[in-house]
Chains A and B, each alone.
Chain A
């Protein structure tokens, strides 16, 4: 039976003052004066005009001793060494793949940084170069770690571990990179029945938890069997919860996603995206997170 819901628009109410989060942040918009004191060094996101330090991006001001910089709220991904990213192959070039990771330049994945199936370690030969397309094609999704950052800001990736590699069946959610919290590990197996990879570049991958760990595969065999309906429901619910958290600008980490999932259980999956249900769920999640902290 078709369900068509229509409603009249409701003016957005400004969110009430929430509990203080340990020190108010100094938020600026492009063009706002940060300080007129000339003793500071200018960092990223600022520029000097007429002896005033002015912000060039919208975000929060961060001050480290004499360095003032503005950390933008919505930017492209800026790579740091050791970050986990989820990317999509855009090109297959001579000895490397170009990967799209929501940053200013395409990231590169060198053939020598890729682990071969079976986990063998050997010099890459000419045959390996010709067989590159058998490993990764245009449009494939991979999970990788940032190895180094070039001087122009482009990021070089590597998949030198069995936990990285080509991703199989799942759902991708694209969010702003600033909403993904930096943690020790970004691969989470949630107790609700699905696993999630929180890429630092804002690409979140939700997939059904594999039953056994395939050690020999090294992340290349894609399981194309149909995913059972119960798993698909869990994944859809998680995806809607993540979209709800992002709309309300909450930081994404495993605990917040889990609390949001539990808060959304009484509602139907498709109702989570309705504005009033979204607010209610996120409010409950925020409350639980605050209780957890102190």
Chain B
């Protein structure tokens, strides 16, 4: 139970989380997990609800693999990985209970809030999915959507009025937002939070998304190797356990950051 850098099979590298780093977004977060650096920005815009869900808002994910991350992302090299990560995020958030979409509705069938979640990969140091999901949860926690009022005119046309007070906003409840835990199979054991070298040694990985209470929302297998069904059950149990501690640690740090309030010194990118 000892990896090259001294961690156990279920230990994460030390993570640094900071929210509200990008000033012109509704919410943002930056997560540094070892050498992996992820920046997430959430922008809330008004749009029309989807036809099949007229009284809910929705989330749109976009992942940009910057060429700074690794030389393989030069030009259009990062597009494939970007679409794969975006599709995984859609799947993870496809469960109805993850985000309260009904709170994003302004006028059923006419207006709703659309949250555009943009993920930027600044540096690739192994274990991208976990870091991205932590950053997305932190950014959603940090998102502030302005309160709107709908005014009815005499002719019946509706007008939307934004409140003038910039601090008058609604926050999202991120208690049920899932986090992805990647379990990589190396030899006969599996490890959590693989570095680049460990990822090169593992032939198959299991991505599971776990909520704070330990419920699984989605599962995906990546890699060209095979996984034994028995080991999949073991990995799921490990993932649930690790996922719960991940949520506890993340919530603690987000609450700590929140409690510092305006006295917090923003480190940002030049620290």
Interface residues of A (CB under 8 A from B): 1-12, 171, 229, 232-233, 236-237, 239-240, 243, 268-270, 272-274
Among A3, A9, A171, point to the contact of B16 (Cβ < 8 A): A9
Further pairs besides A2-B192, A4-B242, A236-B3: 15, Cβ < 8 Å: A2-B242, A4-B15, A7-B16, A8-B16, A8-B253, A9-B17, A9-B267, A10-B267, A10-B271, A11-B267, A236-B5, A237-B6, A239-B4, A243-B5, A274-B14
Scoring B residues 232 to 271 as 1 if CB is less than 8 Å from chain A, else 0, what string do you get?
Answer: 0000000001100110111011001100000001010001
**Least CB separation from A274: chain B residue:** B14
In the bound assembly, the distance between CA atoms of A229 and B11 in angstroms comes to 18
Interface centre among A229, A269, A272 (most CB of B within 10 A): A269
Q: CB within 8 A of A6: which of B4, B11, B16, B241?
A: B16
The 4 closest A-B pairs by CB, nearest first: A269-B6, A11-B271, A2-B10, A270-B6
CB distance from B204 to the nearest CB of A (A): 20
Q: Which residues of A contact B17 (CB under 8 A)?
A: 6-9
Q: Which residue of B lies closest to A206 (CB)?
A: B4
Shortest C-beta distance, B238 to chain A (Å), equals 8
In the complex, the answer to whether B249 meets A4 with C-beta atoms within 8 Å is: yes
CB–CB B6/A2 < 8 A:
no
A5 touches B267 (CB 8 A): no
8 A-B residue pairings within 8 Å (CB atoms) = A2-B10, A2-B11, A9-B267, A11-B267, A229-B2, A236-B4, A268-B6, A273-B14
In the assembled complex, B12 has its CB within 8 A of some CB on chain A: yes
Tell me which residues across on chain A come within 8 A of B4, comparing CB atoms: 171, 236, 239
CA distance A239 to B4 in the complex (A): 8
- Chain B residues with CB below 8 A from A243, complex form: 5
Give the interface SS of chain A, mostly helix, strand, loop or mixed: mixed
Given A2-B192, A8-B256, also A232-B267 (CB < 8 A) = no
A3 touching B6, Cβ below 8 Å:
no
CA–CA, A229 and B265, complex, Å? 43
Tell me which residues across on chain B come within 8 A of A229, comparing CB atoms: 2
B residues in contact with A270, CB < 8 Å: 5-8, 11
Q: How far is the CA of A118 from the CA of B32 in the complex (A)?
A: 50
Confirm or deny: B18 has a beta carbon within 8 angstroms of a beta carbon on chain A. yes
Residue of A nearest to B244 (CB): A2
Contacts of B248 in A (CB 8 A): 4
B249/A232 in contact, CB under 8 A: no
Bound Cα distance from A223 to B5, whole angstroms: 22
Q: Could you tell me if A9 and B32 are in contact, using CB atoms closer than 8 angstroms?
A: yes
Taking a contact as CB atoms under 8 Å apart, the answer to whether A273 and B5 are in contact is: yes
Q: What are the residues of chain A within 8 A of B8 when measuring CB–CB?
A: 3, 270
- Chain B nearest CB: distance from A263 CB in Å? 15
Complex Cα–Cα for A42 and B10 (A): 55
Residues of B71-109 at the interface with A, using a CB-CB cut-off of 8 Å, are none
Do A4 and B12 form a contact, CB below 8 Å, given A9-B18, A9-B32? yes
How near does chain B come to A168, taking the closest CB pair, in angstroms?
16
Interchain CB contact under 8 A, A3 and B10: yes
> Given known contacts A6-B250, A11-B267, is B14 in contact with A236 (CB within 8 Å)?
no
Closest to A267 in B: B6
> In this complex, what residue of A is CB-closest to B3?
A236
CB contacts (< 8 Å) of B12 on chain A: these are: 2-5
Residue of A nearest to B264 (CB): A8
A170 to B: closest C-beta gap in Å: 10
Q: B220 to chain A: closest CB distance in Å?
A: 21
Q: B5, B10, B253: which contacts A240 (Cβ < 8 A)?
A: B5
Instruction: For residue B193, give the distance in angstroms from its CB to the closest CB of chain A.
Output: 9
Checking B5, B11, B246, B265 against A11 with a beta-carbon cut-off of 8 angstroms, the contacting residue is B265
Does B15 contact A5, Cβ atoms closer than 8 Å? yes
Give every chain A residue within 8 A of B245 (Cβ-Cβ): 2-4
| Pair B271/A12 contact, Cβ less than 8 Å | yes
On chain B, the residues within 8 Å of A12 by CB distance are 271
Closest to B15 in A: A6
In chain B between 12 and 36, which residues have their CB closer than 8 angstroms to a CB of chain A? 12-18, 32
